Amino acid sequence: MTSRQVDQHNGGTTAAPGTAPVATTATGPAGGEGYERGLNSRQVQMIAIGGAIGVGLFLGAGANIAKAGPSLILMYALAGVIVFFIMRALGELLLYRPVSGSFAEYSREFLGPFFGFVTGWTYWLMWVVTGMAELTAAAIYVHFWFPDIPQWVTALAFLVVLYVANLISVKLFGEIEFWFSMVKVTALVGMIVIGLGVVTFGFSQAGDTAAVSNLWAFDGIFPKGIGSSLMTLQGVMFAYLAVELVGVTAGESENPEKTLPKAINTLPFRIIVFYVGALSVILMVVKWTEFQPGVSPFVAAFSKIGIPFAAAIVNFVVLTAALSSCNSGMYSTGRMLRDLAGNGEAPSVLGRLSASKTPALGITLSAVLMGIGVVLNYVVPEKAFGYVTSVATAAGIWTWLMILASHIRYRRAVTAGRLPASSFPAPGGTVCSWIAVAFLLMVTVFIALDPDGRISLYVGAGWAVCLAVGWALLKRRDATTPAVAASAGKPEEPEQQLQAAGR
């Protein structure tokens, strides 16, 4: 933890006695960081809701139903509890010190500079590869309606539009994300209401076979065994990626003390309604044995009910989900690169804000790399989409583990009286965080056992080597800097440095 970061706990960067004040860089005064606090409560709430609804649910659930049957509902509920533990741990940290790029900042503060470096770059990688996949997916969805338009043209058009929107202002990003999320939420609620109507009143073509008993009537709740059900957890966790995005918005929320706790506390409701509720209704309407991998369960259910244009409706919703994910990716990657630049872990030019108070250069770099992904996905086989999403899952699990580890270290410091308590403490203290750590490690083992998912661990090992080399080069560069070389030595614990700073 640098002296600049220690000073930030006291509200900003202070100069040494007898010197002029030092301006802050990427993490400016009072946690404001120079950003415009342009995200209002309505937008933060909908960003939080939209982060829990993506293509992992709309498309990925079909393959998982075929593997696990109705027990998939329990897997989503179990994973949802763990995700809530993670978000409450993050919430406690956010209200202790709300900063944009929070995951890397907290890792840097409580685990050490290396972990901040790794977490920041890994979260950036997660969103870049996700953006690559989502842009390609969006182009495929548009191809459903306009087969004569080349997919690369559509992907490029979406990339440019979202890129420009993110450059203009954070308010425009928030507004676009609000309406993207509104489409997803409205569609899911409509599906649930229609499905309940079919089960309750028996109308439509599916009315004769729709029943609550479909959840257990065909070989029970665990028709393929508990082992097969547990193996779906890696796909289930992918569906929950991006719920932590609300943490990245902390530095640009108008009133983080009010909006962030509300967004996090409503997460269980969103999981119950949009995941557990939606899948339960779908599996009541259609027998689980009728679902096939590669087919959206919502398309299958709508077709069974006999709703006109079912495929087109769900295609539009999934298109919205893909664009929402890419939009969020551009937003978060720019902020994460600025955080890394502010700590000397990325080129300093990426730490600059534009006139509209957006990290324009970081957003530009990320958008360019996402554009390369569009070209790659156009050239390479279809498996490229699955590979990049598996890499995103592994990167997401790392991010969640760092949030939990940071929370455990933070609570240890609070208990010892070295840091102030957060106004939004996680229930159960660190017990729930330890449970979540164990769960994520278990999911990692399942990924290693799955031949298709194992590719993400191979890529993760390669990424770890790249980060280790990058860190070694960074330290060598710092060691040749006179000011750094003079202060070289074993770093103190963050809590010890705070005590020395007079906390």
Q: Can you give the CATH number for the domain in which 117 is found?
A: 1.20.1740.10
Q: What average pLDDT does range 247-275 have in this prediction?
A: 78
| Percent of the chain surpassing pLDDT 70 | 79
Rg (the chain; Cα; Å): 23
Q: Is the pLDDT of residue 430 over 90?
A: yes
| Percent of the chain surpassing pLDDT 90 | 23
Residue 442: pLDDT band with limits 50, 70, 90: very high
The reported pLDDT for the residue numbered 41 is: 67
Q: What would the 3-class secondary structure string for 279-311 be?
A: HHHHHHHCCHHHCCCCCCHHHHHHHHHCCCCHH
Q: What is the distance between the alpha carbons of residues 298 and 424, in angstroms, rounded to a whole number?
A: 37
- Comparing 31-45, 51-65, 346-360, which segment has the lowest mean pLDDT? 31-45
pTM, full prediction: 0.81
Q: Which domain holds residue 85?
A: 39-470
Q: What average pLDDT does range 111-123 have in this prediction?
A: 92
**Judging by beta carbons within 10 Å of its beta carbon (0-12, 13-18, 19+), is residue 445 exposed, middle or buried?**
exposed
Helix axes 360-379, 113-145, angle to 10 degrees: 50
Residue 350: pLDDT band with limits 50, 70, 90: confident
Q: Is the dihedral of CA 373, 376, 381, 387 positive or negative?
A: negative
Q: What is the distance between the alpha carbons of residues 197 and 10, in angstroms, rounded to a whole number?
A: 56
Token pair 């409706």 is at which residue? 313
Distances (CA, A) of 374 to 151, 261, 334, 360, 391: 9, 37, 19, 21, 16
Residues sharing a CB contact under 8 Å with residue 231, sequence separation 6 or more, in sequence order = 67, 68, 446, 449, 450
Helix axes 60-68, 71-96, angle to 10 degrees: 130
Q: Is the pLDDT of residue 53 over 70?
A: yes
The reported pLDDT for the residue numbered 225 is: 92
Q: What are phi and psi of 244, to 5 degrees?
A: -80, -5
- Comparing 84-88, 295-299, 437-441, 446-450, which segment has the lowest mean pLDDT? 295-299
Q: Is the pLDDT of residue 496 over 60?
A: no
Most confident by average pLDDT, 4-8, 39-43, 190-194, 313-317: 190-194
Q: Is the pLDDT of residue 92 over 90?
A: yes
Q: What are phi and psi of 437, to 5 degrees?
A: -60, -45
- Comparing 113-127, 348-362, 395-409, 420-434, which segment has the lowest mean pLDDT? 348-362
Q: Is residue 441 part of a domain?
A: yes
Q: Is the pLDDT of residue 144 over 70?
A: yes
Residue 432: pLDDT band with limits 50, 70, 90: very high
End-to-end CA distance of the chain: 15
Q: What average pLDDT does range 405-419 have in this prediction?
A: 95
359 within 8 A of 334, measured Cβ to Cβ: yes
Q: Is residue 500 part of a domain?
A: no
Token pair 């459903």 is at which residue? 144
Number of folded domains that form the chain: 1
The reported pLDDT for the residue numbered 71 is: 93
Residue 318 CB coordination number (10 Å) = 25
Q: What are phi and psi of 45, to 5 degrees?
A: -60, -45
| Amino acid, res. 366 | S
- Comparing 27-36, 327-336, 391-400, which segment has the lowest mean pLDDT? 27-36
Of residues 69 and 305, the one with the higher pLDDT is 69
Q: Is residue 23 part of a domain?
A: no
The reported pLDDT for the residue numbered 121 is: 92
Residue 215 in 3-state DSSP? Answer: helix
400 within 8 A of 237, measured Cβ to Cβ: no
Q: Is residue 4 part of a domain?
A: no
The reported pLDDT for the residue numbered 99 is: 75
Q: What is the distance between the alpha carbons of residues 217 and 4, in angstroms, rounded to a whole number?
A: 62
The reported pLDDT for the residue numbered 352 is: 85
| Nearest alpha-carbon partner for 365 in 136, 154, 105, 166 | 166
Range 25-37 burial, b when 16+ CB lie within 10 A, else e: bbbbeebbbbbbb
The reported pLDDT for the residue numbered 49 is: 66
Residues sharing a CB contact under 8 Å with residue 497, sequence separation 6 or more, in sequence order = 1, 3, 6
30 within 8 A of 247, measured Cβ to Cβ: no
| Nearest alpha-carbon partner for 176 in 167, 189, 163, 165 | 165
375: left (phi over 0), alpha (psi -120 to 50) or beta: alpha
- Comparing 332-336, 386-390, 495-499, which segment has the lowest mean pLDDT? 495-499
Residue 143: pLDDT band with limits 50, 70, 90: confident
Residue 210: pLDDT band with limits 50, 70, 90: confident
Token pair 């420009």 is at which residue? 164
**What value does the mean pLDDT of the chain take?**
79
Q: Is residue 194 part of a domain?
A: yes
| Amino acid, res. 470 | G
| Amino acid, res. 453 | G
List of E strands, 191-267: none
Of residues 61 and 18, the one with the higher pLDDT is 61
DSSP H or E run through 371: helix 360-379
Q: What are phi and psi of 39, to 5 degrees?
A: -95, 115
Residue 190 CB coordination number (10 Å) = 12
Q: Is the pLDDT of residue 491 over 50?
A: no
Residues sharing a CB contact under 8 Å with residue 453, sequence separation 6 or more, in sequence order = 234, 390, 393, 446, 447
